[in-house]
Amino acid sequence: MKKIVCMGSVNMDLVMFAESIPIPGQTLVTDNFQTFPGGKGGNQAVAASKLGADVTYFTKLGTDSFSEELTAVMSSSGVNMDRNIQLKGGTAGIAMIMVDKNGQNSILFTPGANAQLTPQDVLSNKEVFEECDILLITLEINVDTAYEAIKLAKSLGKTVVLDPAPVPQKPIPKEIARSVDFVKPNETEAKSITNIDVVDYESGELALKALVDYGFASPMISMGKMGVLTIDQNVVKRLPVVDLKPVDTTAAGDVFLGGFVAALSKGWAFLDAIEFAQTAAAISVTRKGAQSSIPNLDEVNQLYKKSKK
């Protein structure tokens, strides 16, 4: 089995569930408040580990109680946290999340120590990348640091999987796009990169082709209830969603990518890896929280086999 290194944000999610998400100037009252370990990178790493992959995490954490808790929780999920850099006096990232009755969410995020991971930190820890086979990375850290990691991984012959969220204000360099083996934007992120408003399959196909023209070899666009659009051997493929009733969609994209790289690490074919990832994501949206919503391998295997019949 191939080894995975994950990079991105690790933070504590402070979540309120309510009938609706307040509009500007509005105050709503709810007594439904919970805390969950989160961060896109952390969620993806835990998902990949729980789905059977060998995962190491590389980031910078603080010395506060949230950082300690996040390290302990991710370690208990099987993620190797020994490679992380500790920033004395630093804090973990924090995400303030509001979730409405339909499972839709609104998020305000501060990265904490995650933002202090530098390109030099990447270069000074080259062995982290030498020891892995797959890099899964999100842009929820300093983009120059992410780009340095992508370039280093590619120079070492590694497979690079990019979550382009949040899409940087400046265009992603085409050198970086050409260094990415797989990229998975959602509809909004695809629009930010391509300037194509993705609202249906037809516009999604246009965005896919624009991503390929930009330099991304194997783009996947996640389109919510419409499933995933991708290109395999120059043919556009529509992979329908596994239809389960959503409760909280916060970590769906992260669970998808964790499942996708877990399947890749076991030698699964591209389209099969997507379907496995969709199955994992479908289960996760039926549960509250980010890392707490991630299913285990047996659950995903059972539903995946059932969906293939």
**Sheet order of strands, 235-239 included:** 54-57, 3-7, 134-138, 159-163, 182-183, 218-222, 228-232, 235-239
Query: Which 8-state DSSP code applies to residue 233?
Result: T
CB 296 within 8 A of CB 260: no
* 204-235: burial string, b at 16+ Cβ within 10 Å, e else: bbebbebbeebbbebbbbbbeebbbbbbeeee
254 is catalytic: yes
- β 182-183/159-163 pair status: parallel
Who's near 209: CB < 8 A, 6+ residues apart?
231
Closest CA to 193 of 232, 237, 162, 153: 162
Give Cα 168 to chain centroid, integer Å. 16
For residue 38, give the nearest of 265, 248, 267, 276 by alpha carbon: 248
- Using the structure block, give the residue that is written with the tokens 């990265």: 111
Candidate list 133, 213, 254, 298, residue with the active-site label: 254
- Catalytic residue positions, numbered: 254
